[in-house]
Structure 1
């Protein structure tokens, strides 16, 4: 099977997808109301789309094409507000975060859609364990070869994305000691992790054809890579972010990605190589486990430094680009959190330390998502 042509898109254009939790308002456990939410949401004209996800307690929202972080928040806010109104009608709540704090995966129901049923048959219990919630950021690339170059440059910053978005410290009622435990579930799937190192779309097409001949792969959707090309959109899709607790943070993270991409395009700061991946898995683990307190190993020099310092150094390099893209407000918000070694995972732990009741933590997270103080 041949790989579809890479569509041309505007450089640095953005798209954001958020997978969200649906919880009841009795004990704040997950509740299978996706179909009802989709029915109600279909009655309101909105940018982007609202679609089901693997299990019936999940829903995914997405923006249309955006050109800045301000465009992202301008689209996510009315979608968020509509979700809240619909949830109120159903007496449920919508929550961000990469995992639900205490749901039991075996209680989840696969959403009745052919692809989800097929995946359930293939992956067994892993499909229900995939009741996890991520943010995906698309960045527009005008050419196919340029998209692969962008993908491999972005790979050095995967630990940044994980630590900045980490919001999944709790799994099935337990503190995992990871800031992002969500990604441990993703790693269980075949064809997860890093994309193969190729800088030519023609070479990537040959790889795709070889993979489809094995019968393991039928489309790009079968690759669960941390970053993957999306030829139908003309983008690369970064998939390691946990869903943040607020749409404001989701937009700020998109602005960070866009500022990085502008830096790559305009300054060509480095040429990626296969050697970048020597420490890739280690850096990714460090960010998942320790968040802002992780160690970052520079793949070019082998130097070790606090991840927090590497993020702050990078943000300083991006200041001009963030200003040009009108992303300074979100970048300032992220910088303040990095300086304080704070992220959503820490907020969740702080709430649990105070409340000693995960249901109350989820309730406060639901208030936070709707724009009220938790």
Structure 2
């Protein structure tokens, strides 16, 4: 299959996808209710879409094309409310977070869909271990070459995205000591990691042709990169975010991406280089392991500084662009959390320290997702 042409999109428009947990309200373990949820939700007209995911205890929601973080929040709110109403009828709950804290992967069921069956046959037990939950943010780009430039500029901010969204400290009942353990599961897939360093769509097409000739790749869906171009939408898709515990944080993260993209397009602040990737995996690991307490190595200067400090400097730098796009409230929400050193991983740990029961942590996380104060 040849590489699709890069579609036109309005620059800096947004689209957000969230993978969500379905849990029962008895012990708050994952529950295989995706088919029932989809049946109920599809009776309501909603923006975007609600679709199944790899295993039957997961669903994915998506917004339509949005112009502001506020519009993202509005669409996510409509979908969230419909999900909550449907879940209440089924006596289950919907939860955010990058991992379920105590589910056992071998108990999961692959959702009955041809692509999921094919992936299960290819990847074996990794498919069930892929019961993890992420947020994807699409940002519109002026053209294909601009998309690749955007992709490689955004790669410098992968640690920032990870630390801001980290919400997966627990795996199968254990504290992993990571703020984002979810990405360790993604890294197990052979076509994960970073995109190749090419800066024109012609070069990218040549790379894609080589990969398809090997038989390893059939389409762009086969690349599990941290950031990838999405030619059918005319976007770049960032895939490293854990699903946040609230839709407000999900929308704020989209606003942060939009402000960064506006800064890139307006000021062309730096030219990405292959050498940026010398510290890419180290910075990625630091953010997964330590979250906002990570050390960040600046790819340009090699300077080491606290990631939290670099985040605050970045937010100052893009504040004007955020204001122009209506993303100031998004930046303010994230900034206050960065200053407090608080992300969703910390909330989950504090809740577990207080309650001493991971099922209760999931119950309270379900309340947070539906907008209740806890």
Question: What TM-score results when the alignment is normalised by the length of structure 1?
Answer: 1.00
Displacement of 1:142: 1.8
Partner of 1:126: 126
Partner of 2:24: 24
Per-residue CA distance 1:345-369 (angstroms, 9 max, x = gap): 0000000000000000000000000
- Confirm whether residue 70 of structure 1 aligns to residue 70 of structure 2: yes
Which segments of 5 or more consecutive residues in structure 1 lack a partner in the other structure?
none
- Confirm whether residue 276 of structure 1 aligns to residue 276 of structure 2: yes
- Confirm whether residue 141 of structure 1 aligns to residue 141 of structure 2: yes
Question: What TM-score results when the alignment is normalised by the length of structure 2?
Answer: 1.00
Partner of 2:160: 160
- Confirm whether residue 101 of structure 1 aligns to residue 101 of structure 2: yes
- Confirm whether residue 43 of structure 1 aligns to residue 52 of structure 2: no
Displacement of 1:373: 1.7
Displacement of 1:330: 1.3
Per-residue CA distance 1:166-199 (angstroms, 9 max, x = gap): 0000000000000000000000001100000000
Runs of 4+ more than 3 Å apart: none
SS in 2 for 1:9: coil
- Confirm whether residue 255 of structure 1 aligns to residue 277 of structure 2: no
SS in 1 for 2:162: helix
Q: Is 1:364–1:373's contact at 8 Å kept on the other side of the alignment?
A: no
Question: 1:197-212, aligned counterparts within 5 Å?
Answer: 197-212=197-212
SS in 2 for 1:240: strand
Displacement of 1:2: 1.7
SS in 1 for 2:216: coil
CA distance in 2, matches of 1:360, 1:74: 29
Partner of 1:345: 345
Partner of 1:231: 231
Per-residue CA distance 1:297-347 (angstroms, 9 max, x = gap): 001000000000000000000110110111111110100000011100000
Partner of 2:332: 332
Partner of 2:196: 196
Which segments of 5 or more consecutive residues in structure 2 lack a partner in the other structure?
none
Displacement of 1:54: 0.1
SS in 1 for 2:287: helix
Partner of 1:81: 81
Aligned residues: CA RMSD: 0.4
Aligned residues: 374
Q: Is 1:38–1:51's contact at 8 Å kept on the other side of the alignment?
A: yes
CA distance in 2, matches of 1:158, 1:111: 30
Per-residue CA distance 1:1-25 (angstroms, 9 max, x = gap): 3211000100000000000000000
Displacement of 1:27: 0.1
Partner of 1:9: 9
Question: 1:279-318, aligned counterparts within 5 Å?
Answer: 279-318=279-318
